[in-house]
Amino acid sequence: MAWQLPSLAALRTFEAAARHLSFTKAAAELNLTQSAVSRQIRLMEEYLGVLLFQRVKQRLVLTEAGRSYVNDIRAALENMQAATVNLLAHQGKGGILSLATPPAFGTKWLIPRLHRFSDSHPEILINLATRAKPFDFGSEAIDAAIHYGRNDWPGVLFDRLVGEEMVVVCSPAYLARHEKLENAADLSKHALLQQSIRPNLWREWMEAKGGDATHAWTGPRFEHFYMIMQAAIGSLGVALLPLMLVHEDLQSGRLVQPFDGAYVGRDAYCLVYPAEKRNDPKIELFRRWLVEEAKRSE
């Protein structure tokens, strides 16, 4: 392939100039002269046939083409840097496993256990990022993800892990200052904390428990279970959450179960990854470890 690209030095210069919106500051960062940066940008513009910067009232600003180009170039430079760090750190062995996880699962369940994986596989470095919704693996530099749901993420392989058992919880302070809350029927008089990504959780619970599903969608909405947990602790309403997330809060008394509302739902935390990565040794090692950890925690 004949690469029709500006030089790497030119791309780094362009990225620095775009970030600072100053040739002088970019020159200082790159240990160049201001005239060298200006010349490099001018040569890039001539090579590409596109104006990347312009002066507006003596201020340097990116053109529309420049703004679009720098976003793509920055992502490519970051990927090259990560690949180089990965190679130098592991010399071709092991490597970095980039994993996306919902905040609550990562904080409450995964991170406290990760040391066991690292002890067994020190050659693999876990890089954690938070995601709440399914995304396109093809457009994100993520190898695998933890997803709360069922087999509802198209184009991926998955392993069901933990989190099927759901419980109704609230804070002791909320329970003390509100109307009675002794069974599912009483929930119609209370604020139900909703997860916006999965809006039917309360409806499914009420249909199983005999509550009034008419009010299943009332109450403030939150994107993450972690936010719902904090809202429940803060006495904002009644929450329906996986037991494995609130076990410690129930033991400490920060949350209470106003009545026996245990329920095994259809959703659970799952490990998902693209089908084309089924033979990736890093993912396979992590998958086996994660499945065993899930069995141990049952």
Which domains are delineated in the chain?
8-88 (1.10.10.10), 95-161+268-296 (3.40.190.10), 165-264 (3.40.190.10)
Mean pLDDT of 201-222: 86
Mean pLDDT of 130-146: 89
Mean pLDDT of 217-229: 93
- How many CA atoms within 13 Å lie on the side-chain side of 3? 4
Nearest CA among 68, 124, 118 for reference residue 94: 124
pLDDT at 256 over 80: yes
Higher pLDDT, 263 or 83: 263
Lowest mean pLDDT segment, chosen from 1-10, 85-94, 96-105: 85-94
Please, which residues bridge with residue 125 across strands?
96
Contact yes or no for 215/187 (Cβ under 8 A): yes
In this prediction, residue 5 carries a pLDDT of 81
